Amino acid sequence: MNKSLRKAVIAGNWKMNKTRPEAKELIEAIKPLAVGADCEVVVCVPFTNLETAVEATKGTNIHVGAQNCHFEKSGAFTGEISADMLTELGVEYVVLGHSERRQYFGETDETVNKRLKAALEAGLKPIVCIGELLWERECGITEEVLGKQCKLDFFGISAEDMKKTVIAYEPVWAIGTGKTATADQAEEACAYIRSVIAKMFDKATADAVTVQYGGSMNAKNAAELLSKPDVDGGLIGGASLKAPDFGVIIAAAKE
Ligand code: PGA
């Protein structure tokens, strides 16, 4: 991380886990571990836990995020939630374009771009996930894939909005598989993403944008991953459901 240039963000992505009482319990356990954190701490919880999470984190340094939002403001979109519905609840962050959304729910770069614009307009801080499949890495096209995703997902947004957006580099082969990218692989990809942002916008924007790593980040490997200059935090799935592990990762962001 380079904290002199940008903000480190450690975000838990709870995915489809935790009922409301369980969510409250986990947040209560995370609270003391987040005190004095030298990074932005975020918990991205299921829609049904948002209100509970906002309530439970009041007066703390823990911020609450959702895991998706729709691009329209309202209307006939059964099952969807708008960005305004999230801000009205006190939600600050929203994960967009997670590979599970892309893989299982037909999310495309085009819809990610539309959702990003809606989220920014509503004043949410988006965490946009990009990353290559194993097959794409093996074929040697990781940079092409990341470049294309940046160009499509961040199309038509201002440099100011780009600076407010967190990018999560999540190699799809590392998500929930226990296979972490090596710290060097993470650094290489995060630095490449930053170089694409510099070309699309300018160097100041690229220097300011937070680029997280995500994919089997845990209490054991976090410190090494976060020691890399272009890895500005993490988007953590499995390990964010265990308060002590998430606490170790938050602490690792202090180094
Ligand atoms: P994981 O998930 O840490 O369980 O691999 C990361 C993510 O999907 O954001």
Q: Which atom of ligand 1 is nearest to the CA of 168?
A: 9
Mean pLDDT of the chain: 96
58 has pLDDT over 80: yes
Is residue 108, in this structure, part of any structural domain at all? Answer: yes
Look at residue 2 in the predicted model and tell me its pLDDT: 81
Look at residue 162 in the predicted model and tell me its pLDDT: 98
Ligand 1 surroundings by CB, under 6 angstroms: 13, 170, 175-176, 214-217, 235-239
255 has pLDDT over 80: no
What value does the mean pLDDT take over residues 31-46?
Answer: 96
Q: How many domains does the chain have?
A: 1
Distance from the alpha carbon of residue 234 to the mean position of ligand 1, in angstroms: 9
Is residue 3, in this structure, part of any structural domain at all? Answer: no
147 has pLDDT over 90: yes
Rounded Cα gap, residues 247 and 156, in angstroms: 37
pLDDT band, residue 202 (cuts 50/70/90): very high
Judged by DSSP in three states, 126 sits in strand
Is residue 210, in this structure, part of any structural domain at all? Answer: yes
Is residue 111, in this structure, part of any structural domain at all? Answer: yes
Is residue 4, in this structure, part of any structural domain at all? Answer: no
Domain residue limits at 27? 9-252
Is residue 88, in this structure, part of any structural domain at all? Answer: yes
Helix (H) or strand (E) holding 130: strand 125-130
What value does the mean pLDDT take over residues 155-175?
Answer: 97
Q: Which atom of ligand 1 is nearest to the CA of 15?
A: 8
pLDDT band, residue 252 (cuts 50/70/90): very high
Is residue 44, in this structure, part of any structural domain at all? Answer: yes
Distance from the alpha carbon of residue 56 to the mean position of ligand 1, in angstroms: 24
CATH number at residue 80: 3.20.20.70
Distance from the alpha carbon of residue 17 to the mean position of ligand 1, in angstroms: 13
Q: Which atom of ligand 1 is nearest to the CA of 176?
A: 5
Give the count of beta carbons closer than 10 Å to the beta carbon of residue 65.
Answer: 27
Is residue 2, in this structure, part of any structural domain at all? Answer: no
User: Which of 65-79, 108-122, 175-189, 191-205 has the least mean pLDDT?
Assistant: 175-189
